[in-house]
Structure 1
Amino acid sequence: MSPLNRRTLAALACTAVALWAAPTPADAQATTATKLRVFSGGQNQRPDLVRKLLDQYQARNPGVTVEIETGGATSELQRQYLSTVLNAKDSAIDIYMIDIVNPAQYFGAGWLEPLDAYVGPAAEVFKPYLPVYAQSNVVDGKVAALPAFADAMFLYYRKDLLEKHKLPEPKTWDELAATARKVQAAEAAAGNANLQGLSLQGAPIEGAVCTFLLPYWGQGKEFNDAAGKLTLDKPAAVKGLSTWLGMVDQGVVKKNVAEVRTPDTVNEFKAGQVLFAINWGFAWDRFKDDADSQVKGKVGVLPLPAMAGGRSATCVGGWQWAVSAFSKHKAEAAKLVKHLASPESSKMLAVEGSLLPTYQRIYTDADVVRQAPWFNDAAAVVVAGKSRPMSRDYGQVSDILRTTTSAVLARTKTPTEGVDEIENRLRRLMR
Structure 2
Amino acid sequence: MQKRTLLAATLLLALGTAAPAFAQTKLRVFAGGSGQRPDLMRKLFDQYQQKNPGVAVEMETGGATSELQRQYLSTVLNAKDPAIDVYMIDIVNPAQYYGAGWLEPLDAYLGAPAAALKPYLPFYASADVVDGKLAAMPAFADALFMYYRKDLLEKYKIAEPKTWDELSAAAKKIQAGEGNANLQGLSIQGAPIEGAVCTFLLPYWSQGKDFNDAAGKLTLDKAAAAKGLSNWLGMVDAGVIKKNVAEVKTPDTVNEFKAGQVVFAVNWGFAWDRFQDDKDSKVQGKIGVMPLPAMAGGKSATCVGGWQWAVSAFSKSKAESAKLVKFLASPEASKFLAVEGSLLPTYAGVYNDADVVKAVPWFKDAGTVVISGRSRPMSRDYGQVSDAIRTTTSAVLARTKKPEEGVAEIESRLRRIMR
Residue 131 (structure 1) aligns with: 122
How far did 1:32 drift? 6.1
Whether the 8 Å contact between 2:23 and 2:56 is mirrored in structure 1 is no
Query: Which of 287, 305, 308 lines up with 1:299 in the alignment?
Result: 287
SS at match of 1:428: helix
Distance 2:70 2:148 in 1: 32
Specify which of 148, 153, 158 is matched with residue 139 of structure 2: 148
Instruction: Give 1:288 shift.
Output: 1.1
| 2:203 paired residue number | 215
Match of 2:233 among 235, 245, 258: 245
Letter of the 1:299 counterpart: I
Is the 8 Å Cα contact of residues 352 and 363 (structure 2) preserved in structure 1? yes
Give the AA of the match of 1:185. A
Determine helix, strand or coil for the equivalent of 2:391.
helix
Who is 2:65 aligned against? 74
* Corresponding residue for residue 103 of structure 2: 112
Runs (5+) with no aligned partner, structure 2: 9-19
* 1:103-139 alpha-carbon deviations (Å, 9 max, x no partner): 1111111110011111111111011100001111011
The yes-or-no answer on 1:96 pairing with 2:87 is yes
The answer for the alignment partner of 2:112 in structure 1 is 121
What corresponds to 1:406 in structure 2? 394
Which 4+ stretches in 1 moved above 3 angstroms?
A: 29-32
Question: Quick one: percent identity of the two aligned structures?
Answer: 79
In 1: Cα distance, 2:247 partner to 2:66 partner: 19
Alignment partner, residue 15 of structure 2: none
CA deviation map 1:6-53 (0-9, x unaligned): xxxxxxxxxxxxxx9xx9xx9xx9886222111111211111111110
TM-score, structure 1 length as denominator? 0.91
Q: 5 Å matches for 1:328-347? A: 328-347=316-335
Matches within 5 A, 1:415-426: 415-426=403-414
Alignment of 1:215-364 (within 5 A): 215-364=203-352
Residues of 1 paired with 2:316 and 2:280: CA distance?
Answer: 48
Cα deviation, 1:259-304, whole Å, max 9, x if unaligned, reads 1111111111111111000001111111111111111110000101
1:243 and 1:409 map into 2 onto residues whose CA distance is 11
The answer to which of 310-319 and 37-46 deviates more is 37-46
Aligned with 2:176 (options 172, 179, 185): 185
- The counterpart of 1:195, out of the listed 178, 183, 190, is 183
Q: In the aligned structure 1, how far is the partner of 2:273 from the partner of 2:139?
A: 19
Tell me, in whole angstroms, the C-alpha distance in 2 between the residues paired with 1:336 and 1:186: 56
**Residue 22 of structure 2 contacts residue 53 of structure 2 at CA under 8 Å; is this kept in 1?**
no
Q: Which digits, 9 at most, give the CA deviation of each residue in 1:184-208, with x for residues without a partner?
A: 11111xxx22111111111111111
In structure 2, the partner of 1:48 is 39
Separation in 2 of the partners of 1:341 and 1:112?
17
> What TM-score does the superposition give when structure 2 sets the normalisation length?
0.94
Q: CA deviation at 1:89?
A: 1.7
CA distance 1:243–1:260, change in 2 (3 Å): same
Q: Which has the higher mean CA deviation after the structures are superposed, 374-383 or 86-95?
A: 86-95
Shift of 1:74: 2.1
Q: Determine if the alignment matches structure 1 residue 159 to structure 2 residue 150.
A: yes
Output the amino acid matched with 1:400.
A
Question: Displacement, 1:82?
Answer: 2.2
Letter in 2 for 1:70: T
Aligned residues: 404
**Uncovered stretches (5+) of structure 1, i.e. residues with no partner:** 1-19
The more displaced of 268-277 and 56-65 is 56-65
User: Offset of 1:142 from its aligned partner?
Assistant: 1.1
Describe the SS at the equivalent of 2:145.
strand
Query: Secondary structure in 2 aligned to 1:320?
Result: strand
Letter matched to residue 354 of structure 2? A
Aligned partner (choices 364, 369, 376) of residue 388 of structure 1: 376
- Paired with 1:123 and 1:168, the residues of 2 have a C-alpha distance of 38
Separation in structure 1 between the aligned mates of residue 28 and residue 293 of structure 2, nearest angstrom: 42
2:280 partner SS = coil
Match of residue 204, structure 1, among 181, 192, 197: 192
1:162 positional shift = 0.5
SS for the counterpart of 2:82 is coil
Aligned equivalent of 1:170: 161
Corresponding letter in the other structure for 2:202: L
Give the whole-Å Cα distance in 2 for the aligned partners of 1:175 and 1:77: 40
* Alpha-carbon distance, 1:78 to partner: 2.1
Q: CA deviation at 1:170?
A: 0.5
1:397 aligns with 2:385: yes
